């Protein structure tokens, strides 16, 4: 071919590939928007049951349309404590099955209907009021772009049939002996490593096969190599992760390398079995997988696209069934290969991989894991701070422990804010954006709670330093208030952080309102008793000031806890007042528990 034809081929193939990849990206985003609630449920289903973990991996990857996205986000989940190593390896197994859906999408014989799908999706995407219908429109447009891109690529590759140079090159890698099979596997692995997308390489492989440039055996060997090449994405993401993230990436590599090695050894029987099964399916079904709408290209196996898709699925399913019973042994093996030397990454929460490959819903789930950790640290800080307040003799180590937990929450709050700010640059739904803002606010409020926990220890340390004493009545009142605040903080953490309650029932809100209001009432009583002791001379002036500071700190812990609840469910004060009116028939004059209340002592 002359230079002009090579140029035409280059921009046609690259343009088609660009349209295909953009369609896959849009398909991933729109499917995530449609299934965002389901994704959250999937994460909640994770257990140490290897079959369940694998199923979660399959479904997640089908939704996000990329095993790379799933495996990269696994690194974040492990770092955030949402998954242990066994769960993560199980999800990796499932991701390898889920990614094979791309091959079947490519193989379906509806390329000529690409424009019809774009046209059908245009109406709901631009004119529907419902966000769900808009997402459906995007799915149709994305599928249309995938098929249009494939049509362009297939059309671009057709002139290669007349190129003696290209045909000579293809003969060198034709998978007809063990050396050429290994060469094809290496080539598929290297190209996937460079492109960083197994879907793109699979599309190119299937387009070459559909136009007769390569036969099925060569395509099957290239696809095996692509299965190894795709593991590099998770491995690169795990470099900055913790020890379990690195172990999961090693398990991913071992899983695919061992599986491909076995398939290379039995390659003739492997491709023969795929051909036997595909050629045995009914004609009605096989008709869906011809090269294009007008039938097979001259001299090309009409079922080659279906064979490639079936071989891709068959390899990963067979590989999974083989490794699933030995999953605990695989986990032990990678643990032995990558021992824990006690080195931990200081940076816990960060986006892994290319921003264009991040799934917003999965990223928000990762942030939820960090918020859950922050909630646990907050409860620990409150427990240690109140324990320090009740000490009869100073314990510097406990004081330093609360100080350390305050620094931990400062770091987590900063990481969560930076992380979510970066995530919110991605295309996301209004609900996802609202959830992101809520997580930022929750992290800020929890950090403020721990600040006041540290204040409690400082007030008590001042008493040790100046030899100040409280009366027995004062200690009894503080114990009661501490218990009430602790119960409220724990209940709020359970509802808002552990269970991620967005739509609380009236009974749940009523319980939290009862606890919050009881704290306010009890604090007023304590303040009255405290003033009485001061008037009667039963309390030293300086000790009285410290007592007042401790009460104020406890009330502000309560107020920030209210704000944590409000950040998650919204309209806290509105629901609080409605419930109070329902129970009493009239409004109350007690100070409102709103975000503004953190500046006061109510």
pLDDT at 290 over 60: no
Is 298 part of any domain? Answer: yes
| Residue numbers of the domain that contains 459 | 358-599
Evaluate whether 513 touches 576 at the Cβ level (below 8 Å).
Answer: yes
Nearest alpha-carbon partner for 315 in 359, 279, 261? 261
Q: Distance (Å, rounded) from C-alpha 336 to C-alpha 247?
A: 9
Q: Distance (Å, rounded) from C-alpha 352 to C-alpha 79?
A: 11
Nearest alpha-carbon partner for 255 in 283, 220, 230? 230
DSSP letter assigned to residue 494: I
Average the pLDDT over each of 1-15, 424-438, 448-462, 577-591 and give the range with the smallest value.
577-591
Q: Distance (Å, rounded) from C-alpha 213 to C-alpha 14?
A: 17
- pLDDT value of position 435: 87
> pLDDT tier at 553 (50, 70, 90 boundaries)?
very high
* Interval 61-71 mean pLDDT: 75
> Higher pLDDT residue, 210 or 534?
210
Q: Do both 276 and 392 map to the same domain?
A: no
> pLDDT tier at 62 (50, 70, 90 boundaries)?
confident
Domain boundary (275, 308, 337) is at: 337
> pLDDT tier at 224 (50, 70, 90 boundaries)?
very high
Evaluate whether 485 touches 452 at the Cβ level (below 8 Å).
Answer: no
pLDDT at 466 over 50: yes
Evaluate whether 74 touches 43 at the Cβ level (below 8 Å).
Answer: no
* Interval 175-183 mean pLDDT: 84
What value does the mean pLDDT of the chain take? 79
What number of CA atoms fall less than 13 Å from residue 572's CA on the CB side? 25
* Interval 331-350 mean pLDDT: 69
Q: Do both 278 and 327 map to the same domain?
A: yes
pLDDT, tens digit (0-9, with 9 covering 90-100), for 76-117: 777 666 678 888 888 888 888 888 888 888 777 666 678 888
Q: Do both 293 and 424 map to the same domain?
A: no
Is 344 part of any domain? Answer: no
Is 58 part of any domain? Answer: yes
- Is the whole model's pTM more than 0.75, yes or no? no
Q: Do both 333 and 364 map to the same domain?
A: no
- pLDDT value of position 410: 92
Domain boundary (267, 302, 337) is at: 337
> pLDDT tier at 324 (50, 70, 90 boundaries)?
confident
Q: Do both 543 and 436 map to the same domain?
A: yes
For the domain that residue 500 is a member of, what is the CATH number? 1.20.58.220
Task: Report, in angstroms and rounded to the nearest whole number, the Rg of the chain calculated over CA atoms.
Answer: 31
Q: Distance (Å, rounded) from C-alpha 520 to C-alpha 402?
A: 25
The DSSP code sequence of 233-266 is: HHHHHHTTS-HHHHHHHHHHHHHHHHHHHHHHHT
Q: Do both 304 and 451 map to the same domain?
A: no
- pLDDT value of position 503: 66
Q: Do both 32 and 139 map to the same domain?
A: yes
pLDDT, tens digit (0-9, with 9 covering 90-100), for 225-281: 988 988 887 777 777 667 888 888 888 888 899 999 999 999 999 988 988 888 876
pLDDT at 341 over 50: yes
Exposure b/e, 206-229, CB count within 10 A at least 16 = b: bbbbbbbbbbbbbbbbbbbbbbbb
Kindly state the percentage of the chain with pLDDT values over 70. Answer: 79
Q: Do both 325 and 371 map to the same domain?
A: no
Q: Do both 300 and 439 map to the same domain?
A: no
Kindly state the percentage of the chain with pLDDT values over 90. Answer: 15
Q: Do both 317 and 456 map to the same domain?
A: no
Q: Do both 182 and 61 map to the same domain?
A: yes
Is 349 part of any domain? Answer: no
Average the pLDDT over each of 441-455, 473-487, 588-602 and give the range with the smallest value.
588-602
* Interval 298-316 mean pLDDT: 83
> pLDDT tier at 578 (50, 70, 90 boundaries)?
low
Average the pLDDT over each of 487-496, 516-525, 526-535, 548-557 and give the range with the smallest value.
526-535
- pLDDT value of position 296: 46
Is 310 part of any domain? Answer: yes
For the chain, the domain total comes to 2
Q: Do both 372 and 499 map to the same domain?
A: yes
- pLDDT value of position 12: 83
> pLDDT tier at 176 (50, 70, 90 boundaries)?
confident
Is 352 part of any domain? Answer: no
Is 351 part of any domain? Answer: no
Is 353 part of any domain? Answer: no
């Amino acid at each position: 071919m002359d230079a002009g034809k090579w140029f035409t081929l280059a921009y046609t193939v690259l343009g088609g590939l660009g349209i295909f990849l953009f369609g896959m990206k849009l398909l991933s985003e729109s499917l995530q928007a449609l299934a965002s609630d389901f994704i959250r449920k999937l994460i909640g289903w994770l257990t140490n049951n290897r079959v369940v973990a694998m199923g979660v991996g399959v479904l997640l990857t089908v939704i996000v349309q990329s095993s790379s996205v799933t495996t990269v986000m696994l690194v974040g989940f492990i770092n955030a404590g949402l998954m242990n190593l066994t769960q993560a390896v199980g999800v990796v197994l499932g991701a390898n099955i889920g990614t094979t859906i791309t091959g079947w999408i490519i193989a379906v014989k509806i390329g000529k209907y690409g424009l019809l799908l774009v046209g059908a999706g245009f109406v709901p995407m631009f004119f529907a009021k419902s966000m769900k219908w808009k997402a459906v429109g995007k799915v149709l447009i994305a599928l249309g772009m995938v098929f249009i891109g494939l049509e362009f690529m297939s059309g671009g590759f057709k002139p290669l049939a007349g190129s003696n140079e290209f045909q000579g090159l293809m003969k060198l890698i034709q998978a007809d002996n063990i050396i050429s099979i290994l060469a094809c596997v290496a080539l598929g692995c290297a190209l996937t490593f460079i492109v960083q997308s197994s879907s793109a390489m699979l599309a190119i492989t299937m387009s070459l096969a559909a136009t007769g440039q390569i036969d099925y055996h060569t395509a099957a060997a290239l696809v095996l190599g692509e299965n190894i090449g795709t593991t590099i994405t998770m491995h690169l993401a795990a470099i900055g992760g913790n020890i379990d993230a690195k172990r999961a990436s090693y398990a991913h590599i071992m899983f695919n390398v061992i599986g491909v090695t076995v398939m290379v050894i039995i390659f003739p029987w492997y491709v023969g079995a795929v051909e036997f099964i595909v050629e045995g399916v009914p004609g009605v079904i096989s008709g869906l997988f011809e090269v294009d709408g007008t039938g097979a290209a001259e001299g090309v196996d009409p079922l080659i696209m279906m064979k490639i898709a079936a071989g891709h699925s068959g390899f990963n399913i067979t590989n999974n069934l083989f490794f699933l019973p030995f999953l605990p042994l695989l986990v032990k093996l990678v643990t032995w290969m990558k021992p824990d030397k006690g080195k931990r990454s200081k940076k816990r929460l960060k986006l892994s991989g290319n921003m264009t490959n991040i799934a917003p819903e999965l990223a928000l789930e990762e942030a939820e894991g960090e918020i859950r950790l922050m909630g646990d640290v907050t409860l620990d800080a409150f427990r240690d701070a109140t324990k320090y307040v009740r000490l009869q003799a100073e314990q510097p180590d406990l004081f330093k422990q609360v100080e350390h937990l305050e620094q931990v929450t400062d770091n987590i709050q900063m990481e969560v804010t930076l992380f979510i700010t970066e995530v919110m640059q991605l295309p996301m739904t209004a609900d996802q954006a609202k959830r992101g803002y809520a997580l930022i606010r929750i992290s800020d409020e929890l950090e403020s709670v721990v600040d006041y926990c540290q204040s409690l220890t400082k007030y008590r340390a001042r008493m040790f330093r100046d030899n100040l004493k409280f009366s027995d009545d004062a200690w009894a009142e503080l114990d009661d208030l501490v218990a009430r605040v602790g119960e409220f903080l724990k209940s709020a953490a359970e509802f808002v952080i552990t269970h991620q309650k967005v739509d609380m029932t009236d009974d749940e809100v009523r319980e939290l309102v009862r606890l919050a209001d009881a704290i306010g009432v009890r604090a007023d009583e304590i303040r009255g008793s405290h003033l009485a002791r001061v008037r009667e001379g039963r309390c030293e002036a300086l000790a009285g000031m410290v007592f007042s500071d401790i009460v104020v700190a406890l009330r502000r812990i309560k107020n920030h806890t209210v704000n944590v609840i409000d950040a998650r469910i919204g309209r806290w004060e509105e629901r609080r007042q409605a419930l109070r009116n329902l129970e009493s028939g009239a409004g109350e004059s007690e100070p409102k528990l709103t975000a503004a209340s953190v500046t006061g002592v109510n």
